[in-house]
Amino acid sequence: MDNIYEYYTLTLTTLSPLFIGSGASTGKKEYCVDTHHKLIHFIDMQKLMAHVCSFNNERRLESFEAFLLDADKRDLYTFLQALGISPNVLKSLTLYSIPTGQINFNDRQNPVEVQRFMRDGNGHAYLPGSSVKGMIRTVLLSYLLSLRPDITAEKIDQAIDAAHQRIDYQLKDAAQETEERLMHTNRLTSKTANALNSIMKGLMVSDSLPLNNADFILARKKDVPPIGHPKYNMINISRECLRPGIEVSVHIKIDNRYFRPQGVRYTNFADLFAAAVRHYDAQYNSFYMTHFDIPNGNVSSFSEPFVLMGGGAGYFGKNIIYSLNGFKKGLPKVSRYMAYRFPRTNPDDLHCYGISPHMLKVTPYGQCDYQFGLCRPTLTREDSPDD
C-alpha cells in the first residue's frame, strides 16, 4: 500500500503579472492613491463611515453622503483631505496597500475601477488550489487527447448532436464529452458524467500560504492584435496582480486508487505532468503565439516550460477546442463562437485575422510589456507527511 499516495510541492514562478480574480471590484470612492509613494490604499468603508459619523457634524455627514452618491466627483483621497482626516487616521482605516505599478492616477484616461485578487476572510491574498487544479486539468486533457487517436472531433460532434446546437453549447458540450471520455474512467457511479468518476478525484491541491502585499502591483489590460495589425487597445480596467518574479507554492497529493489515467504508460505524476506541459507548450506556441509578436518582457519565457493561469490568460490557454479539432478545423468553430459572444469586437476572426481569439492580453510593467498569467512550474517530490 506504500505506492497509493504521492506527495509533491508545485512551485509556480510568475513570468508575468498573475491575476486570480475574486469577483470583487473597487471603485475610486473606495480607495486612496498616494502618488508620492506610488501606493494604493484599499479602505474599510464601514470603518470610514463610523469615523465620519463620530464627527457629529451634520454638514460633514451631508458632504459625505453627496460624495458617495457621486454628486461630488472628487476621488476619495482628495475628499478625505478636505475633511481634515490625518495620515494616521487614514492608516487606521486602510485594509491593506499595494504598489500602483504603471498606473498613473493623475491621468483621467486611466482606469478608476480595480478588479481584486482572491483573498481569504482575513484579507490575506492567496493562490487557490482550485485554480491550480484547473490549470493541471487543462494541461493533462490536451496531452491525453493527443494519445487517443480514437477520440476525434467528428465522433464527439456526432455524440453531442453538434449540428443542431448553438455554437456556445456545441463547444461546451464537446469539451465536456471529451473530458468524460478521457478522465471519467473510474466507474464509481453509474453515470459517467458524475465528477466522482473523474481521475481528478485522486488529485488534491492545497491553497498557497498567504501572499505578501508588497509583491502585488496594479496592472492595466492592453489588447494587442496579431502581427500586421498595428492598432492596440488600452482597456479601462486595472487588476490587482502578483508581479513577475514571485514564487508561490502549493502542495499536491496524488491518490493512485483514483488517479489512473488511461491510454498512457503511467508511472508517476511528475513524469506525466512534465510530458503534458511539454505538449501543451508546443501546441500553444505553434497554434497561437506564432500569430503574435512576443511581448518584450516574455522573450525568453516560451523557450522553457510554462503554464497559463488566471484572468487575461486567454480563451486559447484554458480550453481544449483546438486540441480536439486541430488548428485548421478548430479556428472556424472558435471564430463562430467569438462572433456569437462578442459580435461587435469579433465579427469574423477567421477571415479578418486568421486566429481566434484575435487579441493577446498584455500589460505594461517596468519598461516592458508582459502577457498575463505566464508561470514557470517546478514540481518537487516530497516524503509522506507521516514519515
User: How many whole angstroms separate alpha carbon 52 and alpha carbon 73?
Assistant: 19
Summarize the confidence of residues 97-123 as an average pLDDT: 79
163 pLDDT above the threshold of 70 = yes
pLDDT attached to residue 107:
55
- Nearest by Cα to 246 from 276, 274, 293, 211: 211
CA angle 144, 380, 142 (to 5 degrees): 15
- Nearest by Cα to 130 from 142, 141, 118: 118
This prediction's pTM: 0.92
Q: Hey, what's the cell of 333?
A: 468553430
Q: What is the tens place of the pLDDT at every residue in 338-354?
A: 999 999 888 899 999 99
Summarize the confidence of residues 140-163 as an average pLDDT: 95
pLDDT attached to residue 335:
96
**Over the chain, what is the mean pLDDT?**
91
pLDDT attached to residue 387:
60
Burial 253-279 (b: 16+ CB within 10 A, else e): bbeeebbebebbeeeebeebbebbbeb
Burial 102-133 (b: 16+ CB within 10 A, else e): bbebeeeebbeebbbbbbeeeeebbbbbebbb
143 pLDDT above the threshold of 90 = yes
User: Where is average pLDDT lowest: 95-99, 101-105, 327-331?
Assistant: 101-105
2 pLDDT above the threshold of 60 = no
Q: How confident is the model at residue 141 (pLDDT cuts 50, 70, 90)?
A: very high
| Residues with Cβ within 8 Å of residue 231, at least 6 apart in sequence | 225
Using CB atoms within 10 Å of the CB of residue 77, give its burial: 0 to 12 exposed, 13 to 18 middle, 19+ buried.
Answer: buried
| DSSP per residue, 325-355 | HHHHHHHHHHHHHHHHH-TTT-S-HHHHTSS
Percent of the chain scoring above 70 in pLDDT: 96
Q: How far is CA 244 from CA 131, 365, 371, in A?
A: 18, 9, 11
User: How many whole angstroms separate alpha carbon 308 and alpha carbon 136?
Assistant: 10
Q: How confident is the model at residue 175 (pLDDT cuts 50, 70, 90)?
A: very high
Continuous segment of H or E residues that includes residue 201: none
User: Where is average pLDDT lowest: 63-72, 115-124, 346-355?
Assistant: 63-72
